[in-house]
């Protein structure tokens, strides 16, 4: 393989840019002697809730735990069906299976690749308990439509916002129309720590105490337990997240600027580009293009030192690990399967330069011209 000219991630660049702030925040935690469930985590939860414009935020081990514990606290469980999408990261469905419920997949919209809200109602049965829209690639699903359907059928709504902190819809914000929101802070996310962590945010006071207990071995009083789990956000990650949260809007603005560059450079290429809905704030966790010879393009870019990856080339219902008997393994999802076959994520991160974008786009154009 040729030398990497444009990596897929900018993790180290981001660390270098914020090194002084991050090193000092980490050192302060190390010197405090308190490493879990301490004041730094508490402060971060307050900052996060405020940023999201929501009442409560609870720091957790991961985005998967955020969804899973929200489902548990909301009483979603065995025998329930949960409507979601299949063109997402495995954890969206995994967290539904973890509570014993069954994911029911709705196809995605041909343009945005978010849940096709016109197809939700046909999947509702007497067992349907909740809808879990995923704000895929950094763009909000149509929450007004989801909420209208949920209200009509008396369903819970949990937003999988792992990819979209800082995004907003057309006249609505994340969390406004749902019972809970799950966030992931793995390194690659728009707000990412160095490793794993996540958070659940909600306006519902009644689930906060349950999740607070669940994340700490079912305990809110030392030595007294019910069955829970260990899903505490540790202080070092909270300190890192606190520093980065201050920069999230500028990170997202930089992603949006690079997406605009790609849009400009790739216009007229004949390749399907991301579709940003008017009035929405898309925060481009991923910049996903679609072409039938996706593998050919990926290989061509690799030869030119550009790392492009795929999100998600195997939809959930296409996975070999789909648990036997845990839902329909053969749903009819033509748009989801098309997306899986054709998707290619170009490098995008706040530290990517316009020149690097141009280099990537020039190579995509060269490939498209010579096909
Ligand atoms: C859409 C989506 N849902 C859920 C998750 C799970 O988050 P985590 O990896 O923090 O458990 C991720 C991220 O990995 C994701 O992208």
For the stretch 87-135, pLDDT in tens is 999 999 999 999 999 999 999 999 999 999 999 999 999 999 999 999 9
Question: Which atom in ligand 1 lies closest to the alpha carbon of residue 198?
Answer: 10
The pLDDT confidence band at residue 325, using thresholds 50, 70 and 90, is confident
The string of pLDDT tens digits covering residues 154-168 is 999 999 999 999 999
- Going along the chain from its start, the domains and CATH numbers come out as 12-106+114-245 (3.40.640.10), 248-369 (3.90.1150.10)
- pLDDT score of 297 more than 90: yes
Ligand 1 center–CA 64 separation, angstroms: 6
Strand partners, 144: none
Strands of the chain (E only): list them.
Answer: 56-60, 81-85, 102-106, 128-131, 156-160, 180-184, 198-202, 287-290, 343-346
- If one residue of 62, 66, 91 were mutated to test the ligand 1 pocket, choosing by the most ligand atoms within 8 A of its CB, it would be 91
Ligand 1 center–CA 184 separation, angstroms: 6
Question: Which atom in ligand 1 lies closest to the alpha carbon of residue 134?
Answer: 1
Question: Which atom in ligand 1 lies closest to the alpha carbon of residue 136?
Answer: 1
Reduce the DSSP state of residue 64 to 3 states and report it. helix
Ligand 1 center–CA 89 separation, angstroms: 6
- pLDDT score of 215 more than 90: yes
Ranking 58-62, 182-186, 258-262, 321-325 by mean pLDDT, the lowest is 321-325
The pLDDT confidence band at residue 329, using thresholds 50, 70 and 90, is confident
User: Is the separation of the CB atoms in 169 and 140 below 8 Å?
Assistant: yes
Measuring CA to CA, which residue among 83, 103, 81, 85 is closest to residue 94?
103
Residue nearest to atom 8 of ligand 1 (CA): 63
- pLDDT score of 3 more than 70: yes
What is the average per-residue pLDDT within 308-323? 96
Structure tokens at 315: 């939809």
Residue nearest to atom 9 of ligand 1 (CA): 63
Question: Which atom in ligand 1 lies closest to the alpha carbon of residue 135?
Answer: 1
- If one residue of 135, 184, 186, 241 were mutated to test the ligand 1 pocket, choosing by the most ligand atoms within 8 A of its CB, it would be 184
Measuring CA to CA, which residue among 249, 162, 193 is closest to residue 40?
193
Ligand 1 center–CA 91 separation, angstroms: 6
The string of pLDDT tens digits covering residues 359-370 is 999 999 999 999
Q: What residue ranges line ligand 1, CB within 6 angstroms?
A: 62-64, 88-89, 91-92, 134, 160, 162-163, 184, 186, 196, 198
Q: Distance between CA atoms of 40 and 181, rounded to whole angstroms? A: 22
The pLDDT confidence band at residue 1, using thresholds 50, 70 and 90, is low
Ligand 1 center–CA 162 separation, angstroms: 5
Whole-model pTM?
0.98
- If one residue of 61, 64, 198 were mutated to test the ligand 1 pocket, choosing by the most ligand atoms within 8 A of its CB, it would be 64
Residue nearest to atom 12 of ligand 1 (CA): 162
Question: What H or E segment, with its residue span, contains residue 109?
Answer: none
| Total Cβ atoms within 10 A of residue 65 | 29
User: Is the separation of the CB atoms in 29 and 40 below 8 Å?
Assistant: yes
pLDDT of residue 324: 83
């Amino acid at each position: 393989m040729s030398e990497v000219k444009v990596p897929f991630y900018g993790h180290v660049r981001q660390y270098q840019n914020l090194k002084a702030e991050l090193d000092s925040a980490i050192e302060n935690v190390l010197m405090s002697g308190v490493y879990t469930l301490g004041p730094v985590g508490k402060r971060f939860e307050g900052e996060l809730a405020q940023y999201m414009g929501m009442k409560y935020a609870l720091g957790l081990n991961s985005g998967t735990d955020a969804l899973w514990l929200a489902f548990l606290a909301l009483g979603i469980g065995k025998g329930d069906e949960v409507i979601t999408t299949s063109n997402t990261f495995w954890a969206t469905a995994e967290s539904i299976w973890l509570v014993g419920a069954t994911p029911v997949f709705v196809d995605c919209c041909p343009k945005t690749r978010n849940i096709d809200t016109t197809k939700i109602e046909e999947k509702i049965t007497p067992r349907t308990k909740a809808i879990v829209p995923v704000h895929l690639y950094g763009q909000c699903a149509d929450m007004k439509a989801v909420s209208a359907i949920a209200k009509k059928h008396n369903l819970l709504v949990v937003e999988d916002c792992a990819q979209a902190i800082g995004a907003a819809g057309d006249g609505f914000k994340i969390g406004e129309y749902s019972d809970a929101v799950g966030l992931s802070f793995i390194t690659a996310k728009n707000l990412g720590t160095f490793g794993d962590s996540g958070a659940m945010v909600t306006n519902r006071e009644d689930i906060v105490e349950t999740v607070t207990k669940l994340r700490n071995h079912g305990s809110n009083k030392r030595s007294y337990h019910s069955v829970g789990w260990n899903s505490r956000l540790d202080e070092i990650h909270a300190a890192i997240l606190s520093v980065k949260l201050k920069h999230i809007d500028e990170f997202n603005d930089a992603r949006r600027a690079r997406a605009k560059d790609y849009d400009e450079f790739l216009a007229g290429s004949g390749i399907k580009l991301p579709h940003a809905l008017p009035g929405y704030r898309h925060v481009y966790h991923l910049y996903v293009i679609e072409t039938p010879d996706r593998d050919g393009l990926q290989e061509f870019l690799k030869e030119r030192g550009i790392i492009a990856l795929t999100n998600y080339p195997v939809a959930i219902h296409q996975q070999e690990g789909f648990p036997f008997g845990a839902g329909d393994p053969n749903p009819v999802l033509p748009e989801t399967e098309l997306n899986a076959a054709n998707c290619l994520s170009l490098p995008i991160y706040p530290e990517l330069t316009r020149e690097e974008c141009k280099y990537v786009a020039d190579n995509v154009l060269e490939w498209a011209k010579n096909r």
